Homo-oligomer: A and B are copies of this chain.
Amino acid sequence: MVDLPAFVSIREVGPRDGLQNEDPIPTDAKVRLLDALSATGVRRIEAVSFVHPKAIPQMADADEVWQRAVRADGVRYSALVPNTRGAQRALAAGFTEIEVVVSASDTHNRRNVNRSTDESLDDIAELIDLLHGASARVEVIVATSFGCPYEGDVDPARVAGIVDRVVRDGADRVAFGDTTGMGTPRRVRELLTAVRDRNAQVPVLLHFHNTRGTALANLLTALELGVTEFDASVGGLGGCPYAPGASGNLATEEVVHMLQDMGIDTGVDLAAMIEAAELAEELLGKKLPSGVLRAGPRTRLTPMPS
């Protein structure tokens, strides 16, 4: 077996990617969730996105949420922005780590932002300049990297070409999103191989969905290939609008639970993350799809039968 890394860096995306795909909740509730997550030991949190409130009402109060949230020592907070206006708001709010998104699938990108992938990459080049000018770091998230719900398979060479382009344009990091859970260990291996053949040095983060049960197998494959950065969402918060009833984001506590038992440190206190997931269920008023949340960690024993 290959050596696995000793430390994995998890970015908690529940407050942004999670809540953005759920029914809106009050500002107070968002702050409570963010503060609970900041106290779990997780090292990175995607806190909010600065998007148009008519497009995404769930994030209309992003400024207020971020202003009221506790900024924990040792936690890196980031924000997602779709355009110049969002970038300016994020910078004004004090963020120095910014995410922007483009979809590898042209159809998916057009459906999201009514522009081709290439047009979005032009926009992103300008955003990178703007953000670098304000000393912020920029991660480009490539959505539908493991498949598109409209087009089907996405050629890893196409994704690698997008990485070429954004690295040339100055991106500090790239992330690959398995937007509708089409990833499998084979797709993870093919994509990472294609990207690294051309850009071995760019820091890579993977974002898996558990729509078809493969998320932790995909993560394990990426670990074996040396990837040490992953997104995860507390409780599995955030569904997938294209697959009703399907689970969406990989649950943070499921990642931490598996890695912890494998001796891989994440900095996260598993009990605290499960409590944050319980809080998320309370705030959302619904059950979340996480198995570790339901069953408890493997160390939680059933009382001995009498």
Residues of A within 8 A of B (CB): 1-2, 107, 111, 147, 149-152, 180-182, 184-187, 189, 210-217, 219-221, 224-225, 240, 242-247, 251, 254, 257-258, 261-263, 287, 290-292, 294-299, 301-305
Q: Which of B150, B152, B189, B215 contacts A299 (CB 8 A)?
A: B152
Is there an interface contact between B213 and A305, defined as CB atoms closer than 8 Å?
no
Partner of A263, one of B186, B210, B242, B290: B186
A276 to chain B, nearest CB (A): 17
Q: How many monomers of this protein are in the complex?
A: 2
Whether the pair A258, B214 counts as a contact (CB closer than 8 A) is: yes
When A187-B261, A295-B181 are in contact, do A215 and B213 touch as well, CB less than 8 Å? yes
List of B residues within 8 angstroms of A292 by Cβ: 212-213
* Residues in B neighbouring A216, C-beta threshold 8 A: 213-214, 216-217
A184's contact among B219, B298, B305, by CB below 8 Å, is which? Answer: B298
Question: Are A212 and B150 also in contact (CB < 8 A) when A186-B263, A247-B291 are?
Answer: no
- Please give, as numbers and ranges, the residues of chain B lying within 8 Å of A291 by CB-CB distance: 181, 210-213, 246-247
Contact of A212 among B111, B187, B243, B298 (CB under 8 A): B298
Given A220-B217, A224-B1, are A302 and B212 also a contact pair (CB < 8 Å)? no
What B residues does A242 contact at CB under 8 A?
Answer: 302
A189 to chain B, nearest CB (A): 7
Taking a contact as CB atoms closer than 8 A, the residue among B150, B219, B295 that contacts A301 in the complex is B150
Closest beta carbon of chain B to A214's beta carbon, Å: 5
Contact A254 B213 (CB under 8 A): yes
- Quick check: A184 and B224 within 8 Å, CB to CB? no
Evaluate contact between A212 and B257: CB separation under 8 angstroms.
yes
Report whether B210 and A213 are in contact in the complex, using a CB–CB cutoff of 8 Å: yes
* Contact in complex: B257, A220 (CB < 8 Å): no
Q: Which residues of B contact A217 (CB under 8 A)?
A: 216-217, 219-220, 258
Among B212, B244, B251, point to the contact of A213 (Cβ < 8 A).
B251
Most B CB contacts (10 A, CB to CB) among A244, A296, A301 go to A301
Q: How far is the CB of A148 from chain B (nearest CB, A)?
A: 8
Please give the distance in Å from A265's CB to the nearest CB on chain B: 14
